[in-house]
């Protein structure tokens, strides 16, 4: 569903992502972890067509993000770490705008907005301007907008930040349901326990380079994901090269 091949992206002289390759199959829940500034957000933004990159390629559902960006964006959705939404719109207007862009028919959008708004408990607030929303409510709204066109691939950057425990639980349920229907989810997180319990596969990135990737069992073995991650970070401290 998502194939990243030798992705390289630089900011000036600094390589934010360096020759990174990953392959996410349909139905997989894939965690992407790394320290602050490791290159997670840059990788994610390249996958979503928000950032352009110098080398390598990214394929979504078999289509190159470089060559067919619109077709790729049509089948995927992106949820950023900080959901800055249109504060001049009401919640429902924002969802309708997203539905218009994805050309979702009336009945389908009405049903999905009602279902997800109820699920995340923001139905009563849908008429309020987004500017009046709390961080958590914006996160929920952004999540609904990402789900509204039933994407084949959902890419999220720190999706659990700001969510209350109930919403967090609901979100994990939605993620599992999506994957059981054959959609793929690729998300970055610092909450290693969530990644460990929820995901089929994991990739660890350090200083823009992929350190390890594979199934959760392969990567962590008998240890916890936290131990593996800290061990890799520790190696880095001992051997800066």
Q: Under the rule (CB under 8 A), what is the footprint of other proteins? A: 12, 45, 48-52, 70-71, 73-74, 77-78, 80, 82, 84-86, 88-93, 96-106, 109-110, 113-114, 123-128, 132
Q: Of 10, 102, 4, 1, whose CA–CA distance to 47 is shortest?
A: 4
Half-sphere exposure of 161 (CA within 13 A, CB side): 13
Our CB check for other proteins shows the closer of 70 and 237 to be 70
Our CB check for other proteins shows the closer of 6 and 14 to be 14
Our CB check for other proteins shows the closer of 76 and 192 to be 76
Our CB check for other proteins shows the closer of 95 and 192 to be 95
Q: How far, in Å, CA of 115 to CA of 147, rounded?
A: 11
CB of 13 to other proteins, least distance (A): 12
Our CB check for other proteins shows the closer of 91 and 162 to be 91
CB of 196 to other proteins, least distance (A): 28
Residues in the chain: 241
CB of 186 to other proteins, least distance (A): 14
| CB contact at 8 A, 203 and 220 | no
Q: Could you tell me where the beta strands, DSSP code E, fall in 12-81?
A: 14-24, 29-34, 55-60, 63-64, 76-79
CB of 237 to other proteins, least distance (A): 30
Pairing assessment for the beta strands 29-34 and 184-188 based on DSSP bridges:
parallel
Our CB check for other proteins shows the closer of 65 and 204 to be 65
Q: How far, in Å, CA of 90 to CA of 174, rounded?
A: 24
CB of 155 to other proteins, least distance (A): 9
Q: Of 49, 52, 44, whose CA–CA distance to 9 is shortest?
A: 52
Six-digit token string for 210: 């992929």
CB of 193 to other proteins, least distance (A): 28
State the helix-helix crossing angle for 135-147 and 91-101, rounded to 10 degrees.
Answer: 30
């Amino acid at each position: 569903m998502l194939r990243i091949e030798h992705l390289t992206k630089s900011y000036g002289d600094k390589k934010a992502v360096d020759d990174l390759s990953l392959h996410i199959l349909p139905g997989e829940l894939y965690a992407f972890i790394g320290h602050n500034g490791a290159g997670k957000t840059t990788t994610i933004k390249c996958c979503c067509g928000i950032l352009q990159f110098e080398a390598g390629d990214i394929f979504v559902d078999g289509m190159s993000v470089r060559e067919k960006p619109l077709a790729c964006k049509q089948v995927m959705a992106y949820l950023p770490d900080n959901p800055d939404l249109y504060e001049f719109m009401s919640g429902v207007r924002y969802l309708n705008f997203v539905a218009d862009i994805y050309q979702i028919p009336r009945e389908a959008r009405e049903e999905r907005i009602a279902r997800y708004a109820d699920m995340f408990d923001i139905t009563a607030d849908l008429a309020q301007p987004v500017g009046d929303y709390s961080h958590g409510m914006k996160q929920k709204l952004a999540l609904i907008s990402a789900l509204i066109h039933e994407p084949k691939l959902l890419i999220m950057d720190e999706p659990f930040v700001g969510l209350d425990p109930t919403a967090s639980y609901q979100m994990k349920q939605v993620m599992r349901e999506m994957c059981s229907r054959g959609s793929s989810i690729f998300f970055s997180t610092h909450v290693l326990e969530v990644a460990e319990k929820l995901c089929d596969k994991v990739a660890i990135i350090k200083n823009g380079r992929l350190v390890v990737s594979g199934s959760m069992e392969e990567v962590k073995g008998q240890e916890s994901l936290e131990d593996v991650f800290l061990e890799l970070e520790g190696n880095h401290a001992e051997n800066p090269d």
